[in-house]
Every structure is written in C-alpha cells, then in structure tokens.
Structure 1
Amino acid sequence: MALSAADRFGDAEAVVDGDLRLTFGELADRIRAAAGAYAHELGIRKGDRVALWAPNSADWIVAAFGLTAAGGVLVPVNTRFKDAEAHDIVRRSGARALLVHNGFLDREFTGPEGVPVIDVTSGFLASGSAYEREVGALDEDDIADIVFTSGTTGRSKGVMTTHGQTLRLYDEWCDLAGLRQGDRYLMVNPYFHIFGYKAGLVASFLRGATMLPVPVFDTDVVLDLVERERVTVLPGPPTLYHSLLAAPAGRDLSSLRVAVTGSADIPVELVRRVTTELPFQHLMTGYGLTEAGTVTASRPGDPYEAVATTVGRPCEGFEVRIADDGEVLVRGYAVMKGYLDDPAATAETIDPDGWLHTGDLGELDAEGRLKIVGRKKDMFIVGGFNAYPAEIEGFLLEHPAVAQAAVIGVPDARMGQVGKAYVVARERVSAEDLIGWSRERMAGFKVPRHIEFRDALPLGATGKVLKDQLTAGRPEEEPRHP
C-alpha cells in the first residue's frame, strides 16, 4: 500500500518533518531501503514481529512501513510508557527487535534483555539495499500489526488485525472524513495509537495526502504549522479543539477544512463552537476502539444536532446493537482476530455469535445513530439510579466558566455513591455556584455533590482523562500527546 502510493502520487509531497520534505517516490525509496535492512541485517521474514517505540516522525513512517514491506508485523509502543511497561509488551509480543528514538523527551529507551535495540536515527533504516518482497508473499488475511490496549482496567492486551481489515476500513474512513488527494494532514494523534497510525498514516497513503507529523503537542507549534504549511485536515481529541478556540486573535487558520474527533465525552457545546467559530467546513465525529477500528461515524450532510449528540451510524460491514444492560455490542469484518496469546480474554470479549463486547454503554436513536453514554466501569449508582459521568460532564461543559470536567462516583453514607466533579475553570466560579447551576439543569441524582478545581486534568496519550489518577494524588507531570 505504501509503496504503491509512489506509483499513484509520484512527485507529490508525502511528508513534511521539520526541514525534511519527501515526495511519495522518495518516501518509497526509503521504505524499500528499510525493508532491505530488516530482511538482510535482522533476518526478518514474513510474520516476524518488531516493536517500534518512538514519536511521530518521518523515521517512524519509514520504520513502520519498511517493516510491513519486508513482511513483518508491527508492534507500536506508547512513548509515555516507562521501561518496565514497554519491556513487558516487547517480551509478550515476541518482537525480534526494538526500534527507538533516543533523546526524545531527554530519555534513553532501553529494551529487555536479549532483544536488539536500534535507534531510528542511527542510519539503520537507510542501510539496506532496495528490497522487494516476493509477489504473493503477503495475503490480506495475514496479521499486519499487534496494537496493545491501554491497560487502564488491567494488563494490556495485544490486538491482532490483518492487512485486509485495515485497508478496507480506512478506505471508507477517507470517504466519510472527506480526505482527498493533495490534502495537508497535520498529525497530532500519536502513531502508536490507531487514530494516528491508521486514520492518519494509512489513510494518507490511500488518498495521497501530505503527512505532517508532530511529536509532542504544543499549541504554538500547531498554529505555526497550520499557517505556514496551509494545513487542511486536523483530526484530534476534544482537547485539541479547545486549544484552537483559545488561540490568540490574528492567527490564520483559514486553510482548515476537515476536523475529526470522537470520544464518549465530547460536549455538544464544543461541537457547536468548532463548527461556528473555526473555519472547518466538515466535522466528522465517530466511535472506535483498538479491537475493531472505526465502528461508527457521522455522514456528510448529517444535521447539526445529530453530529453534536451522537457518534453517527455504523460503517459499512458493521452491526451495532445494545445489550439488555446497555452495553454496546459490535459485529463485523474489522473486529480483531483476537488478543495475542490470550484465548480466554478473546472468548470473554467476543461471544460465540461474533459480537464484540465493548465495555461502553450506549443508545441507538430511531435513525440508527449511536450515542455513547459512558463506560460500564465508570457508571455509578446514586440511591438506586444509574449515573453516567459522560452525560454529567456534558452538562457541566455547557457552563461558560468550565473549560474541562471529569466526573467520578465517590462513596456516600446515605446514597451509596454520589458524583464528584474535577473542573478546570476558564474564569472564576465557586463550587456552590456550579452545584446550584447544575440543579437547575439535571435530575437531582446526577448533580455532583462535590467539586474540586484543578489547574489541569491528567490526560492519556489520546487526550482522554485518566480518571484513576484523579484520586491518586498529583502525579509528576508528564509530556502530553493528544
């Protein structure tokens, strides 16, 4: 797929990474050389796994697609992981080698004993002679990558996905998002996550969009790149659009055309502001997960209310239904082949009828659009009533003084549990005022009984709030990657 892009898009600009600019033809040459290095220097053959622990960059692109060109299986590793976390994934994946980017965030990246560690800036990727895999050596049903889940609710699990699943799903994603040849795609979503890797890199190779990797999110850097490179496509988590809306007056964002976001807690008010206060012509919201990719998406021409309050309808080839307990179940061709070396967890997640149990709670409207109302594990019960944090957070974010909000259930002697809200304010407001305001807009059991103000909320690599850290004190601040 990456190599064929050279035939389709040739001299069009493929990558802009600092001072480096590569056409699709030049990028394909680098990918072939990397494939040769994997094959001849590391002995990588079809099905062998290699882990990649590095930030967004042209080197990441060459390393990843050079590996798949050689027939290998990619294992992306979260750059925010500590050594022990990363080593666990490298060992469990059976990776033959680990590629890193030493010096990123002033870190030296190590590997587990017995696994070669290679710096992507060392010259290794350019050391191989041009390599062409034998025709027919790879099939669409072969595993392309093993992407490990975040592990926030237990030990991370390796999700196995095939080449055919990825190519079919993200070709449709391009149509739904409106990605087209010649677009300039600014990539703040980390490549170790499927939003950056598949809805980013794979999509860009399919359509011939210029890839502009950003290793660490910084609002000023993003604004400078949008202006200088005339960026047209800027997907990201809700926090990205909060940053754009807070940008100083006078920044030229007029080139922006396509926004893509999606999560259980995107507020209606944010969608309204993105579509009315920023120059985007198209905003796609969607719902996806590592185990299935992008499952639902809004459609061009959907009414504003639908885009603002749902995550759209199922993508082609997917079925979505709601279980009796409210859990979202998904079935279709793109559901993972299973968890690596974990048949018990696979059987627990995918039932005998092929339904993937997502752990998310949702509702389907009359037109078949999905609304995510929370996580099964996040739901708390107030005096016998089910309270969903995502819904309460959405209400709080309608208050003009609230920039961000995260709600959890905490013990209460009388009610069993009640809501506690952690709030980042954009202007002065008291807890009493927010609670009083909430009582006018929510059922009593939904109203947070406690409010704690924070300067910032702990965010994961994809911009989601790490709720387990809200009650664990104030951890050392980590670099943030939306």
Structure 2
Amino acid sequence: MAEVWVPPSIPAAVRVAAERFGTCEAVVDGPVRLSYRDLLEHVRIMARVFVARGVRPGDRVAVNAPNTHHWVVAALGAHYAGATLVPVNTRFTGTETVDLLRRSRARALVVAGDFLGADRLAAIRDAAGEAGLPELGTIIRVPLPGPLAPEPGVLDWGDLAAVAEDTPLAEAEARADAVGGDDISDILFTSGTTGRSKGVLSAHRQALGVAAAWAERGEVTAGDRYLVVNPFFHSFGYKAGILVCLLTGATMLPQAVFDAGDTLDLIERERVSVLPAAPTVFQTLLHHPGRQGRDLSSLRLAVTGAATVPVTLVERMSTDLGFRTVLTAYGLTEAVVATMCRPGDDLRTIAHSSGRSAAGFEVRIGDRGEVLLRGPNVMLGYLDDPEATAKAVDAGGWLHTGDVGTLDPDGNLTITDRLKDMYICGGFNVYPAEIEQALARLPGVRDVAVVGVPDERLGEVGKAFVVSDGDLTEDAVLAFCAERLANYKRPRSVEFVPELPRNASGKVLKRLLGKESEESTV
C-alpha cells in the first residue's frame, strides 16, 4: 500500500491539496461542486472572517451543523485562522449544546439555521437564559434548509465575503503559517452514552496521522469518490472522512441525513467508490426495497466497525452490495483509529476481527480483558479534567479503552464487548456481544441488542431486544439460543421493538434499553 505524506498541519494540508489536486473535485454537495483550488479560496475567506471578528490563535470555534460543504469550509477555515475546532453533535438539545459551548469557552459558533425541524439558535438562546454566552462573540448561520430572515448580531453565510474584506489575505496566511503540528487542532466530545460527555484534545499531527493511516489501509486515492454519511462532528466523519480526502485528493460527497433511498441515488449518480459507515447503515441498505436493479458497480471499499459486527453482514456487503473490499476497524474518540484490517485479509479475519494495529499504536490486553493502547496518537487529554485523564491514560502511557477484547497470534484484535455492558449471571461473566452475534444468524432478525436485567435468583439475566423482519416469536428466539449458547448466556426474555435506540454515531444506547426494562418490572 502506498504511503500517504502527512503535512505539518491541517492548514498546510489544505494548501498542498490545492497544489496537488487543483481542478479535481474536492466537494460535491448537491448543486455545489468545489475543486480543491475552490476549496482553498473558500477556506481563506472563512479564515479572514474569523480574524476580522476577533478570533485569536488557540480560540475555540464551534460548528453545529449537518454534513454539508458549509461544515467543511467552516472547520478548515477555523484551522486556517489558527483556532481550535469544536464539533457539536447535531442531536444535542439546546441545554447540551450550551453546556458544551460554555465548557469549551467557544468564541465563535457556526450553526445551521434549521435542521431536523429545529431552530438550533433559538434553542441555544433559550437554554442559555439570562446568563447568556458572554464569551461567544460571533455567530454565523448556515442557510439550511433555505434563505434566512436577517437577525441582529448574526452573520449569515452570504455575508462572509464582505466581512472577509476587513482582513488582508496576508494576515490569514500568516495565521496559517504559524500553526504547528503540536498545536491543538480540535476538541471532540465523546458520545456520552453513559454520562456527561468529555472533551478529547488532539493535536494537528495526530489528526493528520490517523487520517493518513486510515487512507493507507483503505488504499484511498484521488480517483475515489467518498460518500460521507458518518457525521462530521464524529471522528469517523471528520478525521476518517474530510481529512482523508484532503490528504489523498479523493472527492467527498457529504450526506446531511442518512436516507437509504437517497444514498442509493447518490451511489448510482455520482459513482461512489468509498462508503464507510456504522453497521446499521449497511443493514438498512441491504433491506431497502429499492436496492434491486440499482447500478452499484462503482462501490470499491466499505469500512465498518463496532463492538459487534455480524459475520453475515460482512458476507452480504460483498455478495449483495458488491463491495470489492470490506474492512473492519476499531477506534474511539480518544484514539480515532487503532486497528484496521488490510485489503487481502481473508474473510474470517475481516468478519471476526478489527485487524492489526495502525497509526503507530501498540495494542495489548490488560486486566479483565481490557484493550489497552499506546502510541503517538493517543489523545493529549480531556478538556479541563486532569482526574479523568489520569484515569484513562496510566503512567506508562497506556490508554484504558473500556473495551474487552482478544489478540490472535497474528496481532488481530477482536472486540468482544464493553466492560460496562458485561453482566454477571449466576457468578459467570456474560458478554452481550457474543449473544448478539449468535442471534444475528437467526433468519428474521434484522437487529438485536442484549442487556442484563435484575433477577432475584441469578443476580442478572439477559434480555434480548429484537428488530424482526419476519414472524418471529419469543419462543423461537429462546429455542435458537438454547441450541447454541451455554445456559448462563441464554436470554431469559425477548422484547420485539421497531428499532433500537442509537446515537448519531450508530452506537446502541443500551442504557435506555436497560432503563425501559427496569421500568417495565416496576
């Protein structure tokens, strides 16, 4: 696989991409088609706006918008101005967003005018209350879904070129020149599936380093057309998406909201070749009634990963969707990508593991089977939380991931579950992912999650939440498990649900399932 050259900073990467890839398409977003040279010019305008509005080197710029060309320009423009990017989860409520803006001390906010039927700026102001957000000096609105009525004190996207005139281009270039590899590039907040999210600090060299490693394993080139359905506020969409394209010259096609029909249209019309996504995306595409008869022959590379990726899914991604290469990978916000399969790995390795170490990481298995990581791309720490940082990264530099896994003799990592998801049934440790893998083989099971629920005799027992395509019954599910799993591993009850609750990154929110189970027993 060809080595991807890593520039010293993200602003340098934007410039190099314009030089290397010039008129090649950088971003295709509906009618908007930007070449790499166009992208550089838009980023420079954005940077000049931030400078004109008083954003200083090291200040934080928050972006709260869906996957569109606006997000790409805003994020890279913040970097170009020497600022630190703070992506905001678009599913956050106004209260959660205000908490993040205050904790990051954001000086500027780029926000969607209307997304998913919500006026995000109004929600933020309501949540901020009388205390407001005194450190937030600049608000820029993205015109989604369309033109916006003028609002005092708020810049609209169409105003940016005029505002940029207040800053000489040379000043923005000097800002970009001053950005170094060890400067903080971004603060990504964890998904917060078990509590309050934590801000993960990364440097420019780390953001680009993991993107380069990902691009090398996937053999991404300037000829690829990369559909980005993973949210840009997540490292999978931002670092393994935008930055990968920037380093390789691939064309990025952002999708604001995943819709299987629209995705199939894009693949066919734009000849998409690369599609990384959470397992649920591929499951949805496989079950979409409009998939038959589509020309999906352009698809080359799929990358997915989770605590559990059903073997049957990996198989069908090749046979039914036509991907020539399917890879699994493992990462987390604190490390982005730690292991990844390689093209040429056999199906068993791809289906049963997340591949070998990547991006300079060392991987080992610690106490209770916990996966530990060490290397140059482990996070710098958590924002304003030295206690949590010390708990996550020990004195030897090992990141304690909270994931349980095993390493085979070749160094391939298999994630078996999360430590927090493990429950104890009659004195035995039970890892739900093993049960979920087994149930994925049952015809009619489209999606499944298993959680531990209280039991007077055994302490905890398993409960399966099943999304079914067929006429499955609880008895059929339990009988299937009885044939394949030890008694202590078998779920004792089954609940059929229309869908599993997931966060925007595709992770199942098991705490919500567990809460529903507790309430149902009251």
- Give me the TM-score of the superposition, normalised by structure 2: 0.89
**Higher normalized helix content (fraction of residues):** 2
Structure 1: runs of 5+ lacking an equivalent: 475-482
Judge conservation of contact 2:111–2:120 (CA < 8 Å) in 1.
yes
Matches within 5 A, 1:393-472: 393-472=436-515
Q: In structure 2, how many angstroms separate the alpha carbons of the residues matched to 1:290 and 1:414?
A: 39
Most deviating of 274-283 and 61-70 = 274-283
What residue in structure 2 maps to residue 228 of structure 1? 269
Report the Cα offset of residue 133 of structure 1: 2.7
What residue in structure 2 maps to residue 479 of structure 1? none
Judge conservation of contact 1:393–1:407 (CA < 8 Å) in 2.
yes
Most deviating of 400-409 and 248-257 = 248-257
- Where 1:104 maps in the other structure, the secondary structure is coil
Matches within 5 A, 1:271-350: 271-350=314-393
Q: 1:451 to 1:36 in 2, by over 3 A?
A: same
Report the Cα offset of residue 120 of structure 1: 2.9
What letter corresponds to residue 344 of structure 2 in structure 1? Answer: G
Provide, for residues 86-123 of structure 1, a one-character-per-residue CA deviation record: whole Å limited to 9, x for no partner.
Answer: 10011000110111011111211234422243213312
Of 19, 24, 27 in structure 2, the residue corresponding to residue 12 of structure 1 is: 24
Q: In structure 1, how many angstroms separate the alpha carbons of the residues matched to 2:159 and 2:180?
A: 27
Provide, for residues 408-452 of structure 1, a one-character-per-residue CA deviation record: whole Å limited to 9, x for no partner.
Answer: 001112111110000000111111011001111111111111100
User: Aligned-pair RMSD on alpha carbons?
Assistant: 1.3
What letter corresponds to residue 141 of structure 1 in structure 2? Answer: D
Structure 1 position 367 matched with structure 2 position 410: yes
Report the Cα offset of residue 332 of structure 1: 0.5
What residue in structure 2 maps to residue 478 of structure 1? none
Judge conservation of contact 2:448–2:464 (CA < 8 Å) in 1.
yes
Matches within 5 A, 1:23-42: 23-40=35-52, 42=53
What residue in structure 2 maps to residue 51 of structure 1? 62
What residue in structure 2 maps to residue 105 of structure 1? 116
- Give me the TM-score of the superposition, normalised by structure 1: 0.96
Of 393, 397, 405 in structure 2, the residue corresponding to residue 354 of structure 1 is: 397
- Where 1:96 maps in the other structure, the secondary structure is strand
Judge conservation of contact 1:271–1:308 (CA < 8 Å) in 2.
yes
Structure 2: runs of 5+ lacking an equivalent: 1-12, 144-155, 518-522
Report the Cα offset of residue 182 of structure 1: 2.0
What residue in structure 1 maps to residue 178 of structure 2? 137
Judge conservation of contact 1:69–1:133 (CA < 8 Å) in 2.
no
Q: In structure 1, how many angstroms separate the alpha carbons of the residues matched to 2:423 and 2:176?
A: 55
Judge conservation of contact 1:312–1:369 (CA < 8 Å) in 2.
yes
Q: 1:38 to 1:437 in 2, by over 3 A?
A: same
Most deviating of 126-135 and 346-355 = 126-135
Structure 1 position 128 matched with structure 2 position 164: yes
What letter corresponds to residue 60 of structure 2 in structure 1? Answer: R
Report the Cα offset of residue 134 of structure 1: 4.5
Of 89, 100, 103 in structure 2, the residue corresponding to residue 89 of structure 1 is: 100
What letter corresponds to residue 367 of structure 1 in structure 2? Answer: D
Report the Cα offset of residue 473 of structure 1: 4.6
Judge conservation of contact 1:71–1:133 (CA < 8 Å) in 2.
no
What letter corresponds to residue 224 of structure 2 in structure 1? Answer: D
Of 248, 251, 260 in structure 2, the residue corresponding to residue 210 of structure 1 is: 251
Q: In structure 2, how many angstroms separate the alpha carbons of the residues matched to 1:425 and 1:88?
A: 38
Aligned residue pairs, count: 473
Q: In structure 1, how many angstroms separate the alpha carbons of the residues matched to 2:64 and 2:175?
A: 28
Judge conservation of contact 1:186–1:233 (CA < 8 Å) in 2.
yes
What residue in structure 1 maps to residue 430 of structure 2? 387
Structure 1 position 268 matched with structure 2 position 304: no
Q: 1:94 to 1:134 in 2, by over 3 A?
A: closer
What letter corresponds to residue 261 of structure 2 in structure 1? Answer: D
What letter corresponds to residue 453 of structure 1 in structure 2? Answer: F
Q: In structure 2, how many angstroms separate the alpha carbons of the residues matched to 1:170 and 1:34?
A: 23
Report the Cα offset of residue 165 of structure 1: 0.9
Judge conservation of contact 2:81–2:176 (CA < 8 Å) in 1.
no
Most deviating of 309-318 and 403-412 = 309-318
Moved >6 Å (runs of 4+): none
Q: In structure 2, how many angstroms separate the alpha carbons of the residues matched to 1:191 and 1:292?
A: 16
Identity of aligned residues (%): 52
